[in-house]
Structures are given as structure tokens and as C-alpha cells.
Amino acid sequence: MNNYGIEYAHIYTDQSFSNEQVKGINELKNLERRLQKKGFSTSRLVLVDDHSPTISFDRFNFNSFLRHLKTSNTLPDVVVMESEIAKYCESTLNLINDNRLKWQLERYIESRKKIPCSLFIAAWYLLRLGAFGQENVNVVYGNSEKIFSSKIITILPDSFQTPESNASEIINATKFKSLNNRIERIFFYYIRPKYSSWDEFDPYEYVERNYGKNVLTEDKKIIELVIRKLKELKIAKQSFQVVADVGAGPNLYPSMLICPFVKDGGIIELLDISKPNLKYLNNIMNNSEEKDNWIKFETFLRNKGGSMYQDILDRVIKLARVRKQNIDNLPKDKYDAVMCFFATEGIYFERQKFANAIRTLISSVKKGGLLITAHMIGSKGYYAGERTNFPSVNLTVSDLETKFAGLEELTVNLVSHDDQKPVRLGYHGMALVIGKKS
């Protein structure tokens, strides 16, 4: 048994060999050199996902894939199809001693009619580390004994961080939790060559990564700045009749921030164009368990903003109306206040379209009305799901100061991520814009 089993060049059956695999191969070569200098033995593993795509393995050009690996001097010791791991997923599920986590996974399987990526990963790692014994696993190339090793290192694009993290939680909820100490991950930055459609946006992955674990430093700072600015502007509680969160996505904290300032009979419009995002929001409005991720935001809001944020999530659910709406054709002079977080620069890659969206956004606010926006600074794109790529306009604070120059009492604050890991690779922070329409 080798010291390390290194997984690399992960590929789906509807993919061809590309720069994604090349980046993984480069990481593999660097890693092998380091480990070999230390005297460690290694084996190479490739997992071909024939489970997620609709294209079966027999339609995947496997020989071409192997030729590319041979040309780069990185032929694997063993290649396994992901469908071979499926039978270990049920065994892994039965090992979980956290009832809530087990219920969440079972609900996912029942509602989506498929096994979550995180459960596949957990089963795959437990198998490789001997939790199920050293069974003879069917392979499509190489020696099945090479599946097993003392430790595991996986090389993947950064868009796999969420399911990999969830896989660790699954393993940690079993009697084999100590095996997590024998698993390492190397993530590399990769932008897919084509933009995904908005109906490919995965709100659950996006929420879990950005809002599910805890309240990020940037979001804490934004919340504190908004609460402070609303006090400075002397915005009265329940003074707005109709407000909107434009491009709301699956993010509820902007509407929670503005909610105390909306009348009891008022309306908070949650506007988006993505079907998955609209479905996610409607699930929350129907009091599904999806709202659990937002309780910690309510607690933070209450701690920073006082009693007006007591039970604010339930009040949002009561006042909110989820609606499909494109930012480019918002009604003019309709809203007393508009929130728009990470949408104007996160739906286009063209600067002119971003500028048009800002103008439309401002025009949708009534005269004297409030506009609060948040923006990624320096972002070159982002993902929401393992195989997605969404655009972003690379902004500076100066860009925002120029675009919003006509607002009264304008403030533009840059919020950095400090020493913590940035929410997006390559970005410089978030900017918060607050002002009134003149």
C-alpha cells in the first residue's frame, strides 16, 4: 500500500480533456516531486463521473483521455467510474450518527432523485482508506489494489470546495471520523471557458458556501455600516410602503436589513430571473427548513441593530413577494427603497451593460428614496455549483463613485476580507454604496 493516493484530472463523461485537467496535472507533478523528495510512495487515481452527466461511459472518449495523460507523462495507476461508488453511498449513509445530517441527505436524495456529490466523495474516501475493507472494486483501467493508500490527496478546481467540505462533515459524523486526518485537498483556481445559464445557478451550493457556515467578516461589516448609516439618515421605522431587493438571488440578509423600515402593510419585492433562485426564495416564503441558514443573520442583526430586528426573518416572510424581474426593465419611480447586492456587476461581463443596470436601478427609486447596493471589487467571475461559471465586471471603488455621483448624501465604503480567506479568488473586497435619489 502506498503512502499517498493522489486523485487528479477529474473528468465528467460529457467533458473532453481541457485546461481544467492540465491545471490539475501541473499540481500533480509539483506534488509528486515534493513527496518523492521526502521518500513517500504515491499512486495516481482518476475518477470519471458517469453518474452526474446524462452521457454514459460508453459514449465518453476514454482512449483519447488516456492519450492526453500519457502525453503529459501522468498516466494513472487506476481509473474508476463514479457509478461504481454508488453502492458504497448507502453504506456511508447508514454509518452517519447525526440524525439531522442523515435526514438532510435522505431528503436531498428523495427530492432530487440523485445522490449528492458530498455523499459520493465521502463514500469514495472511506473506501480508499479501508473503511469497507479492501474489496475488489471494478475499474476501467489499471490495478484495483492501487485504490487503497494510507493517506489521500485530492487535486480539484476551487468550485468543488463546498461538496468536499460537506464530505468531511459526513465522515466526521461516522465512527471513522479520525480518517479525516488522513485526507488533504489541493484546490486550484479555474474559470470555465463558457458562461453558465442562470437556470444552472445552484442556490444551495452558493448559500452553503457564502452564508451557511457562519456570517462572513465582509457581511458583518456591511450589516454594521448599513445599520449605522440608516441611523445617521434618520430613516424612521415603518416609513416605506414598497421596497425591492433587485437581483436578490438566494441572499436574504439585504431584505432582513431593510425590513424594520417597511410598514406592516407594506411589500418587500424579491426580484430575480433565475428559476432555481426563485424556487429557493419561494421555499423560504412557504416556511420550509431552508430558512434555517438565516437564523444566525437574524441573531447578528439583533445584536447590532437592537430589538427592531427581533423575529425579523418571520417578518420578511410575511411581507415578501417573490417575482421574476429583469434588472434592465425595472419600473420607474416605484420604490421607496431599493437594495441590490452583488447583482449589477455579477450578471454581465460588459461594462456598458453594468452602467445601464445602474441607471435603471436608480430610476426605479422614487425621488428622495433610498438606494443601498453592494459590489464585488476586482472580481473576474464566480461559480454557484461545481460546473458553473458566471460573469463579473471587474470594478474599482472609483467606478462606483462615478456611477452613483448623482445621489445625495452618498457614501461608498470598501470592506476588506482582512486576513481571512477571500470569498472569491482574486477579488479585493466588497464596496457598500448608500445614498438618496435627488
Between CA 235 and CA 243 the distance in angstroms is 14
Higher pLDDT pick, 182 / 385: 182
Q: Tell me the mean pLDDT in the region 86-109.
A: 93
The fold of the 2-188 domain, in CATH, is: Rossmann fold (3.40.50)
Residue 81 confidence (pLDDT): 94
pTM exceeding 0.95: no
Burial class (CB in 10 A: 0-12, 13-18, 19+), 249: buried
pLDDT tens per residue across span 391-425: 999 999 999 999 999 999 999 999 876 655 555 55
Domains 2-188 and 198-436 in one fold: yes
Residue 420 confidence (pLDDT): 58
Model confidence at 31: pLDDT above 90? yes
Where exactly are the structural domains of the chain? 2-188, 198-436
Residue 325, classed as helix, strand or coil, is coil
Instruction: Indicate the pLDDT class of residue 51, thresholds 50, 70 and 90.
Output: confident
Instruction: Indicate the pLDDT class of residue 427, thresholds 50, 70 and 90.
Output: low
Distance (Å) of CA 209 to CA 162, 206, 213, 393 = 6, 5, 7, 21
Residue 182 confidence (pLDDT): 98
Instruction: Indicate the pLDDT class of residue 113, thresholds 50, 70 and 90.
Output: confident
The grid coordinates of residue 397 equal: 471603488
pLDDT tens per residue across span 119-153: 999 999 999 999 999 878 999 999 999 999 999 99
Residue 112 confidence (pLDDT): 80
Model confidence at 212: pLDDT above 90? no
CATH classification for the domain delimited by 198-436, as one of 3.30.200.20, 3.40.140.10, 3.40.50.150, 3.60.20.10:
3.40.50.150
The grid coordinates of residue 76 equal: 494513472
Instruction: Indicate the pLDDT class of residue 342, thresholds 50, 70 and 90.
Output: very high
Which of the given ranges, 43-47, 86-90, 188-192, has the highest pLDDT on average? 43-47
pLDDT tens per residue across span 308-327: 999 999 999 999 999 999 99
Residue 121 confidence (pLDDT): 97
Q: Tell me the mean pLDDT in the region 342-369.
A: 94
Residue 24 confidence (pLDDT): 97
Residue 292 confidence (pLDDT): 82
Model confidence at 285: pLDDT above 60? yes
Residue 135 confidence (pLDDT): 78
Q: Mean of the per-residue pLDDT values for the chain?
A: 93
Residue 425 confidence (pLDDT): 55
Distance (Å) of CA 5 to CA 151, 153, 172, 226, 305 = 6, 6, 20, 49, 50
